[in-house]
Structure 1
Amino acid sequence: MSPRVLIVGLNYSPEHTGIAPYTAGMAQALRESGWDVEVITGLPHYPQWRIHDGYPRTGDPHEVIDGVPVLRVPHPVPHDAGQLRRLGMEIVFGLRAATAPWGRPDAVVVVTPALFASAIVRVRAALTRTPVIAWVHDIYTAGLSETGAAGGPVTHMMRAVEGTFLRSCSGAVVIHDRFADYLRGHMGVAAERITTVRNWTHISEAPTVDTDALRRRFGWGPEDVVVLHTGNMGAKQDLTNVAAAAQVAERTGAPLRFVLVGGGHQRPQLEQLATTTPRFEVLPSVDNDTYAGLLRAADVLLVNERPGLTEMCVPSKLTSYFTADRPVLAAVEAAGPSAAELAAADAGIRVRPGDPEALVEGAMQLHDEWITTGGATHRGGRRYVREVLSRGAAVRSFVSAVAKLLPVTTEHRAPATVNS
């Protein structure tokens, strides 16, 4: 009698940053709750924009990850995140996901911002009148506009496409109330079809890694005030601003060391900057335990966004930052969701984006306050995670959103397998 749900999303485990941990975590949680869940996903490639080792483009596409049957469909992986190349990847993934064996799911969950792939899958679902939920992590057209990736006419056209797609879905799950407002006001999605399900943290509050040993491993001295940025290195992160802040720190004698951890299409440019910029370094992606340890080993945790971003996303790194119990510095717009999250959690301070001097001043202010008060300031992050961003609350809200679409009774079916 278990409801059968098919989740279709380009990103999934073993990717451990961005959207993938939430898709994988929700699939596992639904499966553990008795739902019959299957996943169709792509080849793991994010944030390095190359296929992970051990995942050839050919071979058996079936896996079982944490009890969840997973089907991987092949698709091109561009060497960078250029819009045309990314569009090509999305379309190929969408076509192959739509033509893969589905069985007879009671509902399909499509994960965006893979907009075109999701729209193609939506067409397949419509042929069998299967209800579809769009799980919106980023607003596609807001991203095009705010990052300057497309001009006005293209953005207007894409907004019409995105709005039509979202209105055609049976429901939408968004990760922040700001997104819900945007879908109602700009996309014409009915309020009763929108459910807010907050992303949760997926790192341990008490990592097993020795943080002092990590500082020694990476050459961070006791006098270094480490300002750590993690995750994707792309256009919206504007990380050349962080390199410029490192130059300001060097010039003024501030004891700051700016460190980036992760991958992305701007990583080669940033690595080149690191060779000529003291107090600025770029580290590769790390495993989950090391990542949790690095957050605790740093002195200040950084969110840096391109000026002008007010609608497009809520950085997933914030939930991990809050759990790490370290002060957070956010170089973001005051009107954006990142600033709202930081204020709600009382976990740090905001400075102007695109201003390296402000970044240095903010980092020093946070560190000085932390030392002066014995770490008593900006400690609300962990409380906020437990009260607002818990995995249990997210699963309950998500189950409620999907359950609204299901028939009152479901026909008994055999449990899904990787070959179903």
Structure 2
Amino acid sequence: MRILLVGINYAPDLIGVAKYNTELCESLVDEGHEVRVITAPPYYPAWKIPHGFGASYFRATGINGVRVTRTPIYVPAQPSGGKRLVHHASFALSSMLPVVKEALSWRPDIMLSVAPSLMSAALVSFVARRIGAQSWLHVQDFEVDAAFDLGLLQNEKLRTVMLKTEAAILRSFDRVSSISPQMVDRLRGKGLDAERITEVRNWIDTAAIYPASRQTTYRQELGIPDTAIVGLYSGTMSNKQGLDLAIDAAAALEERRPDIHFILAGEGPHKSKLIEMAAGRSRVHFLGLQPAESFNELMATADFHLIPQKAEAADLVLPSKLGAVLASGRPVIAMASQGTGLAAEVEGAGLVIPPGDTPALAAAIESLSKDPALCEKLGAEGRRRSVERWDRRTIVRRWIEDMAALKVPKPALSPTPVSIPVKDVVPQP
């Protein structure tokens, strides 16, 4: 099959949607399919484009067998609600020409759009219909719902217009998928027919993330005693994560539990504020994004993992970090309402507490710190689930099977595609 993916995030960004876009495309290539990508330059989660990528705009470059074309994009240093709209609009506009060019000259079998960014998706389904390709929208995040529920946008008339636009875009695709049962249910609630919806969840390489010794170089470098208890958060640091609650819990435990340390690893627009909040707290440690080769060691450093998600974000997205957390064989403390997708995934492999409840978070941390047998039991169940539900090879095979079932013959009069060699290189910042 020939697959054209249009998405705002791709390698060399390391986390979030970029990770799954990249690994999906490279896995498809490994299975013998041809894949091309239209994307933006790397910018996430630091919200800054590395030096050297401007010269590569609209030029095809190869990354591990995938032909990648990058387009200009506006990246705000402080991404407010309005600036995010401009950010996504800039990609939708700059990607139009390469999308049309690739569609007409290469004639893909499937045109796959990944949300975010939903703004660029409308063109993908429109062009797919014109060339006889099948269109697929994969929803990693409900952008419109998140923007208003988290208070990034507040104009109700704008919300009505955006929801109607979103519904029209969703209905224009032959297939729409999302990453959890609850997010699939939300798609049904937006008026999509059940036969056009499917669940294809994110994954983790369970051979690369596995239970390991908690005595790591991270503890040594951060000055954390071998006997200390460590709670770890690793991922994006933005408004919806609610990481301020973790710092509040650290403050509440500071005097009575000096053996408990917290590591917050990652980048994002909220990080500087979090560092200010934690000023003077010697048992709260910050790290940047860690390289892939040491990520398993970072995960093993924890005695438990933290997912302090805000209540407003419930079922808008299933945190992509959850697969790695479970695979590490450590329990997780998740802030989630009962009945949400996150709660369903965590129950039995960790503790679920109400969103926004700092005393409950502090109590859960104390509870796990006093019960190593419970930690071992919950961690073992998480590892079992990761292998059963989150294994990369199994989920990529599901992608391929669903794509093969969706594909239909193209019109008889198709121009002969031009083969363009691709080198396995990527611009270096």
Q: Same fold (TM over 0.5)?
A: yes
**Distance across 1 between alignment mates of 2:37 and 2:12:** 14
Displacement of 1:57? 5.1
- Deviation sequence 1:304-348 (CA, Å, 0-9, x none): 1112332200000000101111111112222321111112xx311
The correspondence for 1:66, drawn from 64, 67, 89, is 64
- Deviation sequence 1:222-272 (CA, Å, 0-9, x none): 232111111111111111111111110114335321221111111111122
The correspondence for 2:364, drawn from 362, 386, 391, is 362
Displacement of 1:418? 4.4
The 10-residue stretch of structure 1 (124-133 or 405-414) with the greater mean CA deviation from structure 2: 405-414
Q: Aligned to 1:64, what secondary structure does the other structure show?
A: strand
Amino acid at match of 2:193: A
- Deviation sequence 1:148-167 (CA, Å, 0-9, x none): 22334333322211111011
Q: Aligned to 1:354, what secondary structure does the other structure show?
A: coil
Displacement of 1:54? 4.6
Q: Aligned to 1:29, what secondary structure does the other structure show?
A: helix
The 8 Å contact of residues 38 and 416 in structure 1, kept in 2 or not, is answered as no
Displacement of 1:124? 3.7
The 10-residue stretch of structure 1 (204-213 or 7-16) with the greater mean CA deviation from structure 2: 204-213
Displacement of 1:45? 0.9
**Distance across 2 between alignment mates of 1:352 and 1:157:** 32
C-alpha spacing 1:363/1:416, structure 2 compared with 1 (3 Å): farther
The correspondence for 1:247, drawn from 240, 248, 251, is 251
C-alpha spacing 1:46/1:379, structure 2 compared with 1 (3 Å): same
C-alpha spacing 1:60/1:312, structure 2 compared with 1 (3 Å): closer
The 8 Å contact of residues 7 and 39 in structure 2, kept in 1 or not, is answered as yes
Displacement of 1:119? 2.3
The correspondence for 2:85, drawn from 84, 87, 95, is 87
Aligned match of 1:395: 396
**Distance across 2 between alignment mates of 1:163 and 1:60:** 30
Amino acid at match of 1:261: A
What does residue range 3-402 of structure 1 map to in structure 2 within 5 Å?
A: 3-56=1-54, 58=56, 61-100=59-98, 101-102=101-102, 103-151=106-154, 152-185=156-189, 187-202=190-205, 204-206=208-210, 211-343=215-347, 346-369=348-371, 371-372=372-373, 375-402=376-403
C-alpha spacing 1:313/1:60, structure 2 compared with 1 (3 Å): closer
Displacement of 1:211? 4.6
**Distance across 1 between alignment mates of 2:5 and 2:237:** 27
Displacement of 1:275? 2.0
- Deviation sequence 1:354-391 (CA, Å, 0-9, x none): 1222111101212322x245823442112112111111
**Distance across 1 between alignment mates of 2:398 and 2:261:** 40
C-alpha spacing 1:337/1:312, structure 2 compared with 1 (3 Å): same
Give the number of equivalent residue pairs: 413
- Deviation sequence 1:159-199 (CA, Å, 0-9, x none): 211111011111112111111111112x1111111111111
**Distance across 1 between alignment mates of 2:263 and 2:301:** 12
C-alpha spacing 1:61/1:118, structure 2 compared with 1 (3 Å): same
The 8 Å contact of residues 144 and 163 in structure 2, kept in 1 or not, is answered as yes
C-alpha spacing 1:387/1:373, structure 2 compared with 1 (3 Å): closer
Q: Aligned to 1:7, what secondary structure does the other structure show?
A: strand
**Distance across 2 between alignment mates of 1:37 and 1:308:** 36
Q: Aligned to 1:135, what secondary structure does the other structure show?
A: strand
After superposition, the CA RMSD in angstroms is 2.4
The 8 Å contact of residues 310 and 335 in structure 1, kept in 2 or not, is answered as no
Q: Aligned to 2:380, what secondary structure does the other structure show?
A: coil
The 8 Å contact of residues 4 and 35 in structure 2, kept in 1 or not, is answered as yes
C-alpha spacing 1:155/1:174, structure 2 compared with 1 (3 Å): same
The 8 Å contact of residues 70 and 418 in structure 1, kept in 2 or not, is answered as no
Displacement of 1:287? 0.6
The 8 Å contact of residues 228 and 260 in structure 1, kept in 2 or not, is answered as yes
TM-score, scaled relative to structure 2: 0.89
Amino acid at match of 2:81: Q
- Deviation sequence 1:256-295 (CA, Å, 0-9, x none): 2122111111111112222233432321111112222111
Displacement of 1:126? 4.1
Displacement of 1:113? 2.2
**Distance across 1 between alignment mates of 2:227 and 2:162:** 50
C-alpha spacing 1:53/1:357, structure 2 compared with 1 (3 Å): farther
The 8 Å contact of residues 45 and 51 in structure 1, kept in 2 or not, is answered as yes
The 10-residue stretch of structure 1 (194-203 or 290-299) with the greater mean CA deviation from structure 2: 194-203
Displacement of 1:39? 0.9
**Distance across 1 between alignment mates of 2:317 and 2:404:** 26
C-alpha spacing 1:212/1:310, structure 2 compared with 1 (3 Å): closer
**Distance across 2 between alignment mates of 1:83 and 1:202:** 34
**Distance across 2 between alignment mates of 1:228 and 1:194:** 35
Amino acid at match of 1:128: I
Identity of aligned residues (%): 29
TM-score, scaled relative to structure 1: 0.91
